[in-house]
């Protein structure tokens, strides 16, 4: 999915630890937004789209 990311790690441009922190933050935000909950429990879905 991210072919350049592996190369960046191998080149030392980013560490696996930084990737792990970023992925953890991403999923924490998604969980807080209810992205893994049933649609009936997500209040944001009733808001009109702009």
Domain count, the chain: 1
12-28, pLDDT tens digit by residue?
A: 999 999 999 999 999 99
- What CA–CA distance (Å, rounded) separates 44 from 37? 12
Domain housing 27: 3-46
Higher-confidence residue: 20 or 50?
20
Token duo for residue 12: 């030392």
pLDDT of residue 10: 94
Count the helix, strand and coil residues of the chain and give each as a percent rounded to the nearest 5: 65, 0, 35
């Amino acid at each position: 999915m991210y072919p350049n990311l592996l190369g960046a790690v191998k080149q030392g441009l980013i560490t696996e630890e930084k990737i792990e922190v970023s992925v953890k933050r991403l999923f924490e935000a998604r969980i807080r937004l209810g992205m893994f909950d049933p649609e009936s429990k997500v209040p944001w879905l009733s808001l009109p789209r702009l």
